[in-house]
Chain A
Amino acid sequence: MSRCNPRTLMVAAALVFSRAPLCLAAEPDAPAYPAGAAAFQANCAVCHGPKGAGQPSLAPPLTSYPARYASIAEGRRQLALTVLNGMFGGIDVEHSHFDFKMPDFSALDDATLAAALNFTVFDLGHAGGDTKPIAAEEIAAERSHPMDGSAVRAHRASVLASLGL
């Protein structure tokens, strides 16, 4: 679900005067977060696939859970913790089991990580309009206390419980 206004006559003005994402109405399926899409393709797609469909045992699909996480505070923390610290250990996503070691992407800056997460949550996960975009500050907040990959997985379990997943 694009957050773009399909009326493109004001695109140039929108760029200058607002923080709305760039709307490319000529391409109706353009991502709402193009910088996030680029970061995702460059860093995440190699394991999670270009559309976030995942790969058996190696990397879970991202088309469902991340959008749910983004709707609660601890879920949003989980998104930041995952990209900053990676994760390892067996997890289940919708009856499929995955057991790989996700590397950490702490070398990327907060804005890039937030953009990639927003691409995941909104463009891949189609989160609703009442979900706030992830802000770079939310990434920065988790950077100061790194977690190891198994603790990230444990935190995930508690997030899933809160969401009834």
Chain B
Amino acid sequence: MRSIDHLFEKSARSLARHTSRRSLLAALGKVLTGAALIPLLPIDRSFRAQAAEPAAGKKAEANPATDDPNSCDYWKYCAIDGFLCSCCGGTSNSCPPGTAPSPITWIGTCHNPTDKRDYIVSYNDCCGKVSCSNCVCNRNEREKPMYRPSRNNDLNWCMANADSNYHCSVSVILGVAEK
């Protein structure tokens, strides 16, 4: 029986797939200014649900984790789902050797706390090998269910590749988000 616990003990940088650490912190009532709790997004009223705005206008401060492409907290990974290709022989925007990028993908909008801009990010999958099984990471900022596929990270976006096995996910900046 395979345990996935080793993924979470692996390094202080990697986070549980469902960010249970975040919900635990929330339950304890702590509010952090770091990446862990406040979404890395500005207040964008065209997308926002009628949620309580977290500390209105306050954005995540840049910290080592948000700049680290091997960390699930990396700012570009705000809507990623799967294994980080940077832990699999690729980088945050390139596929590991022997895998093929998916031409179709889902999109996220992530806030870069260093230059304070919002970027449109494309989460291409790298395909054609079995699961990388390293650095599992799932974040869901502005992610939507399957009926809005362009914003959904549950689908296997390798689906249209010749070899549609899923290996890992990258994050590719497409451009600055329009306000």
Residues from chain A with a CB closer than 8 A to the CB of B120 are 88-89, 150
Closest-by-CB residue of B relative to A99 is B150
- In chain B between 155 and 179, which residues have their CB closer than 8 angstroms to a CB of chain A? 160, 174-175, 178
* Binary CB contact string for chain A from 89 to 128 against chain B (1 if under 8 A, 0 otherwise): 1000000000111010000000000000000000000000
Interface segment out of the listed B37-45, B82-90, B103-111: B103-111
Let me know if B150 and A101 touch, CB within 8 A.
Answer: yes
Chain B contact-residue range equals 10 to 19
The number of chain A residues with a CB under 8 A from chain B is: 13
Let me know if B105 and A101 touch, CB within 8 A.
Answer: yes
Complex Cα gap A89–B103 (Å): 16
Task: Say yes or no: is A140 at the interface (Cβ < 8 Å to chain B).
Answer: no
Task: Say yes or no: is A158 at the interface (Cβ < 8 Å to chain B).
Answer: no
Residues from chain A with a CB closer than 8 A to the CB of B149 are 57-58, 100
* Binary CB contact string for chain A from 60 to 104 against chain B (1 if under 8 A, 0 otherwise): 000000000000000000000000000011000000000111010
Complex Cα gap A88–B104 (Å): 11
Whether A150 touches B175, Cβ cut-off 8 Å, given contacts A57-B149, A58-B150, A101-B150, is yes
Q: Interface on A for B, CB 8 Å cutoff?
A: 46-47, 57-58, 88-89, 99-101, 103, 148-150
